[in-house]
A and B are shown apart, each in its own frame.
Chain A
């Protein structure tokens, strides 16, 4: 018969090894996060109709790491306002 639960000085186990304190479980971090998990888009693409030719401007923004095009059309095009920031959950396993 499968052992369903165990409480010993070096291990707590529940649900026939479904949960064990010697394993790691990914959880939303209240502090000391390791990395974010994005819920949807991590990249925003804006279309720029352009004064000379159309183009597009892209912005990647996850957890404060932002990369965005700063010029369009060889520097002649306007830089569009893009405040996109991905929605995410900070996680850790400890």
Chain B
């Protein structure tokens, strides 16, 4: 028979009848300090390539935006969010809810280019990613956006590559393991 209550020194352990531990005072439990719900819109970002002159104007954005105040000890964000956008390309935007933990990758972009040696190269030219996080008593969202436009050298032209505006609808818990 399992002893459900175990006391030893400054430690308390409570068990289920199968022996597994339900509570161990030597281990931390996740404590929710705040619930935040709202919306946040990340604006459209556009990179350009202009010829003549072969001028690249890429975007390289690493931006934190404060969404609200939370407990100063909160360091973990869990919950859900969904994304709406006018972007009509195939993807998961406008389709349900995502887990808010870690980094959400909205999209990867690639361009191909005729290099000077004449070969065609394809590589990741752009990334757009967002992360909800807790910092110093505030819930924040980080936008990491990189984009490069497709080079064309054949005639005077300006080519653009755009990450569209997107809106987050979030329902989040902030807290920490205490």
Contact = CB atoms under 8 A, between A and B. Distances in A.
Interface of A: 7, 9-12, 19-30, 37-43, 45, 47, 52-58, 62, 69, 71-74, 76-77, 86, 89, 91, 94
Contacts of B111: 53
A62 B77 CA distance: 16
Given A37-B78, A37-B101, A45-B144, A73 B24 contact: no
A43 B105 contact: yes
For chain B, give the interface size range: 35 or more
B111 to A, nearest CB: 8
Given A12-B5, A41-B142, A74-B115, A24 B22 contact: yes
Contacts of A12: 4-5, 14, 22
Contact of B15 (A21, A25, A58, A91): A21
B125 A56 contact: yes
Interface string B131-155: 1011000000010101010010000
Contact of A74 (B20, B123, B133, B144): B123
Interface string B117-137: 001011111110101011000
B64 to A, nearest CB: 10
A23 B21 CA distance: 10
Contacts of B146: 45, 47, 56
Given A20-B22, A54-B148, A27 B129 contact: no
Contacts of A30: 24, 26-27
Contacts of A41: 102-103, 131, 133, 142
B122 A29 contact: no
B29 interface: yes
Q: Which of A71, A72, A74 has the most CB of B within 10 A?
A: A74
B163 to A, nearest CB: 12
Given A22-B16, A45-B146, A58-B127, 14 more contacts: A9-B4, A12-B5, A25-B22, A25-B29, A37-B78, A39-B77, A47-B60, A54-B148, A56-B125, A58-B124, A72-B123, A74-B122, A86-B102, A89-B76
